[in-house]
């Protein structure tokens, strides 16, 4: 095991964490980091973690990790207004 992991294990033990709490801390941290690294793409994050996407979703719900993917900003017209709100837009039937 690497020195970094040994130090982490020592801190968890001396901090009085039970095994279940330590697993939760590690899983939450790794899931969050992979989701950020893959800009919310759950499939890519699950693959990087080596787990099935459904397992990732279950753990996200279990730990209260936001399951919503970031939404892109709406497209804007040339005048800077959102395209859906452009009142001068011609309608076609």
- The yes/no answer on whether domain 18-67 falls in CATH 1.10.10.60 is yes
Tens digit of each residue's pLDDT (9 = 90 or more) over 67-86? 776 666 677 766 766 666 55
pTM of the model: 0.68
Tens digit of each residue's pLDDT (9 = 90 or more) over 8-34? 999 999 999 999 999 999 999 999 999
Query: Would you list the domain boundaries of the chain?
Result: 18-67
Residue found under tokens 């941290």: 29
Q: What is the spatial distance between Cα 72 and Cα 24, in angstroms, rounded to a whole number?
A: 31
DSSP 17-80: --HHHHHHHHHHHHHHHHHHHTTT-HHHHHHHHTS-HHHHHHHHHHHT---PPPPPPPPB-TTS
């Amino acid at each position: 095991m690497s020195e970094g992991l040994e130090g982490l294990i020592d801190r968890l033990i001396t901090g009085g964490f039970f095994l279940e709490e330590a697993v939760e801390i590690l899983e939450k941290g790794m899931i969050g980091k992979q989701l950020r690294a893959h800009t919310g793409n759950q499939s890519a994050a699950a693959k990087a973690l080596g787990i099935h996407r459904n397992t990732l979703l279950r753990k996200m719900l279990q730990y209260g990790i936001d399951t919503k993917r970031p939404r892109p900003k709406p497209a804007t017209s040339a005048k800077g207004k959102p395209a859906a709100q452009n009142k001068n837009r011609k309608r076609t039937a």
